[in-house]
Amino acid sequence: MEQVVNLALPFFGLIFVGWACGKWRRLPAEGLVWLNFFIVYVALPALFFQLLSKTPIEQLTQWSFIAATTTTTGAMFAIALVLGLIFNHGQLREATITAVAGAYSNVGYMGPGLTLATLGASATVPTALVFCFDNALLFTLVPLLMALSGEKQSLWSTALVIVGRIALHPFILATAAGVFAAATGLRPPVFVDKMLTSLMQAAAPCALFAIGVTVGLRPVEKITAEIPAVLVVKLLLHPVAIYALLSWMGGVDPVWHMTAMLMACLPPALNVYVLAQQYHSHVAQASAIVLIGTLVSVVTVTGFLWLVTHGVLPPAVMLHP
């Protein structure tokens, strides 16, 4: 249990520090803009590039793993969408935000910090693959469903939005650059490499702190029965489903298996709230789901960490020293 505590407390401790600072000083939320820009456009892309560029290229083409994780995320989206339609009396716009909350793990801000700390550098590739393909799936589904719900955009405009969000996302661009470097053996100059290393080391603590501040600044305005139902899908059903599917498939590297489960057990991403604001729909509920989901995940994620680090779930994985 000491191993789990040593993993979970620093991880969630940084979120708590951010939350406490947000509650204590009550600085304007606009102050987070530059920190979030640094995390999304600089630090995390540096992390993905540095780790992937040093990975053997054959590890980057595990299509059965990609199909399993992406299909599971899609299934959670569909289940949460049905729940959203039920709780919101058939309103597709609101149900779409609910569906994102039930499927979109906080794989960007929390994923790399958790999987790499738990399983080591060998978790880099599956972490990046889950992030890229889950984002590609969700950035496709959300604009399409919003268009079907009456969003005033042409099919061509919707397609451009989808392609732009996928192709130009900084994480995906960094991943593509890392894969290219791994395939060609190309390395940046020494001074650039050192800069990238410094930036990647800042990624996890800054991201976790930013999550805490964001949660601390957003009060819960509205709690309905929809929230616990969606969080059961996100925090419990999603990781159990991906673990079961990869177990049934067989032949999956144990570290990749456990990485997929840890990525799936993370709480709803802050992007749920961002999308709700963008489409002017379900904003209060999205804020509550992100906040409550992050708080509840302290218990659920710690539980999955215990299962992983103690080898309770086959295949057993040794904790990275």
Instruction: Give the separation between CA 276 and CA 248, rounded to whole angstroms.
Output: 36
Q: Whole-prediction pTM value?
A: 0.83
Mean per-residue pLDDT over the chain, rounded: 85
Q: How high is the pLDDT of residue 319?
A: 46
Average pLDDT over residues 137-154: 77
* Residue 56 pLDDT greater than 80, yes or no: no
Of the CA atoms within 13 Å of residue 57, those in its CB half-sphere come to 10
Q: What is the pLDDT of residue 234?
A: 97
C-beta of residue 52 within 8 angstroms of C-beta of residue 125 = yes
Banded pLDDT at 66 (limits 50, 70, 90): very high
Query: Residue 156 pLDDT > 50, yes or no?
Result: yes
The share of the chain scoring above pLDDT 90, in percent, equals: 31
CA distance 274 to 230: 18
pLDDT at 238 over 80: yes
Is the model's pLDDT at 35 over the cut of 80?
Answer: yes
- Sequence-distant (6+) residues with CB within 8 A of 141 are 74, 77, 96, 99
Mean pLDDT of 307-312: 79
pLDDT of amino acid 151: 61
Q: How much of the chain exceeds pLDDT 70, in percent?
A: 93
Architecture per CATH, domain 2-309, reads as Up-down Bundle (1.20)
CA–CA gap between residue 56 and residue 58 (Å, rounded): 6
Q: Is the pLDDT of residue 321 over 50?
A: no
